[in-house]
Chain A
Amino acid sequence: MSTAATADASSSGDTTEGSVRLLTLQSEDGEVFEVKETIATQSVTIKGMVDDDCATSTIPVCNVTGRTLAMVIEWWNKHEIGAVSNEKELKEWESQFDTIDDKSDRDDVYDLLMAANYLNIPTLLDCCTSAVAEAIKGKSTDEMREFFDIKSDFDEKEEDALRKENQWAFEN
């Protein structure tokens, strides 16, 4: 590993800090982040690139903005394998996803979800998916259409019949 790191260090965009190798990630909107390899490999996609020796230059992270990528990196830092993380602090940080009724919160979680999916980060994907599920489980059908930006394609008659069939699910 150490020899590989030294050899790779000569190529552009790749630096080492002590014995820890740094990877350079570039967001869709051009922001550049240097991240420890040990942390970034929480992404299965990036881990694959590292394993295949394809992570020697700047890694473009398409479809993810700098703002979202910064959030992803914050997640990685909090969930670093082997890091002594304070359970309580971690829970507190995760709890920001508990309430995503606010539109901007929702958009943040959406962006994180897309990033977690693109970079294949199972723990983050799991956390965001659960957060959305928790936020929507009590919603009405109209609220759901608004939340997911869906237009109903039922005509009135069809919807009435379907509601009747599932009547119990509309009761408290």
Chain B
Amino acid sequence: MSILYSELIVDILLRLPVKSLCRFRCVSKSWLVLINNPRFVKMHLAQTRRRRLVVSAWSLYSVDIETIFSNDDNIAAVEIDFPRSKLNHEIDSLLCIGSCNGLLCVLTEPNDLVVYNPCTNECKQIPDFRSRILYEPPSLHGFGYAESIDDYKFVKIEHPGKFVDVYSLRKDSWTSIQNNIHFVDKCYMLGIPLNGAIHWMVNKLEDSSVIAALIWWRRSSKPYLLLIFC
């Protein structure tokens, strides 16, 4: 029997579903290192063809996008088995407030925020969030991936926008930066993550003009806030 080259083993493992990979972490130390390797994870993500839509209505539901496009009457929403028991507090309801690369940013009411991977069922609570309530005062917020520094970020800008609070998943901590452009108080808005930046459309405080705001990261973890006047 031939012994397979490791590159061929990688090729084979890349085609496996996440569940098999999680199980095969226990095969050997080298497999554990390989499967946990961020480059392997990225490659696996890049070749995933199955796309799912997550609907949140008290709980989280997953819908296969193909069934929507196929005009099939049998569109099935499957409830996602969120690991409630892993969090040490009661959860009234779940609200997905952002998603990126298959990771969900979920508000577990009342007022906790977690980053959740529905494929591996892994869950990470964002610390010190209880004090940072989302609705009062209204705020801009968003969850996105900063490709330049390979980090997931949750961003929150409270009215009127004096501070931009940024949570880094990699560092598991918050930083706050000052901001001079202020927004009207009706802005409660989810940001759209795209191309390594998070985007919002907002009204400026001074003259209510509509502007696009986007926040992104260059090669350092210092965020840049850019405003585009429409």
Contact = CB atoms under 8 A, between A and B. Distances in A.
Interface string B163-176: 00000000000000
B201 to A, nearest CB: 39
B50 interface: no
A163 B24 CA distance: 10
Interface string B2-31: 111101110111011101111111111111
A110 to B, nearest CB: 5
A110 B17 CA distance: 21
For the residues of A in contact with B, the DSSP-based class is helix
A7 interface: no
Contacts, number: 80
B10 to A, nearest CB: 10
Contacts of A9: none
B46 interface: no
Given A129-B11, A141-B23, A169-B22, A153 B16 contact: no
B27 A114 contact: no
Contacts of A106: 1
Nearest to B23: A169
B28 A149 contact: no
Size band of the interface chain B makes with A: 20 to 34
A104 to B, nearest CB: 10
Contacts of B29: 153-154
Contacts of A140: 23
A153 B20 CA distance: 19
Given A133-B16, A136-B16, A162 B9 contact: no
Across chains A and B, which 7 residue pairs bring their CB atoms closest together, nearest first? A169-B22, A133-B15, A169-B23, A166-B22, A137-B20, A141-B26, A110-B2
Interface of A: 106-107, 110-111, 113-114, 117, 125, 129-130, 132-133, 136-141, 144-145, 148-154, 159, 162-163, 166, 168-170
14 contacts: A114-B5, A132-B12, A133-B16, A136-B16, A137-B17, A137-B20, A144-B24, A145-B27, A150-B27, A150-B28, A152-B28, A166-B25, A168-B19, A169-B23
